[in-house]
Chain A
Amino acid sequence: AQSVAQPEDQVNVAEGNPLTVKCTYSVSGNPYLFWYVQYPNRGLQFLLKYITGDNLVKGSYGFEAEFNKSQTSFHLKKPSALVSDSALYFCAVSPPRGSGNTGKLIFGQGTTLQVKP
């Protein structure tokens, strides 16, 4: 079955420190990979995507993500966290085209990032 796992319910980091939010996936083939962020009472905001190419993807607000095919991981990173980064982060995969899939997103359970001053 296709799935996404975010093993940490919450990540706590001090402002100015680097952060990592982990994501692993179980999807056959070469899926598209995404990170979204959700602020309270809001929808999901697109951060970045990996389709193909360089394993390090840069996105919005200084975030980046590292794709590792052998470990089927797509961890979200930021070199220096801000208090305003505190939010709920979702990893998502879209199964490859041509496999009967239509661009639907399969989401993980989400990780709450708490950045403390």
Chain B
Amino acid sequence: ETGVTQSPTHLIKTRGQQVTLRCSSQSGHNTVSWYQQALGQGPQFIFQYYREEENGRGNFPPRFSGLQFPNYSSELNVNALELDDSALYLCASSPYGQPQHFGDGTRLSIL
């Protein structure tokens, strides 16, 4: 049990829709990172937030955006959903520079 909780656990959307995924980080962790894990693949870094500011971004288009709140919880927003966005989305939190602790993820399916 890492203390990182994600909601919802599963979600089904259609192409073109928008989705918001939520993450509650472990107490005391001021850094949140989001990863996309496609089926059979390793997780791919989307972006990281540190003290409410984006602190690094992977190779994902601008329709992937995020927020971090004062309590360090976070949201991942994806606009104009595409079939290839179907994946497990993982949130990880940590004190800055420390090993990341992952939630169980949100399974997003695009029809």
Residue B42 is within 8 A (CB to CB) of chain A in the complex: yes
Alpha-carbon distance between A102 and B48 when the two chains are bound, in angstroms: 8
- Does A43 lie within 8 Å of B42, measured CB to CB? no
- Does B31 lie within 8 Å of A43, measured CB to CB? no
Alpha-carbon distance between A103 and B92 when the two chains are bound, in angstroms: 11
- Does B56 lie within 8 Å of A110, measured CB to CB? no
- Does A44 lie within 8 Å of B102, measured CB to CB? yes
- Does A107 lie within 8 Å of B43, measured CB to CB? yes
Contacts of A101 in B (CB 8 A): 56
Shortest B14–chain A CB gap in Å is 24
Interface size on A, residues (CB 8 A): 23
Alpha-carbon distance between A19 and B92 when the two chains are bound, in angstroms: 28
Contacts of A97 in B (CB 8 A): 97
Shortest B1–chain A CB gap in Å is 10
Which residues of B approach A to under 8 Å, CB–CB? 2, 4, 6, 31, 33, 35, 40-45, 48, 50, 55-56, 58, 90, 92, 94, 96-97, 99-105
- What are 5 A-to-B residue pairs whose CB atoms are below 8 Å? A43-B90, A43-B104, A97-B97, A103-B48, A105-B45
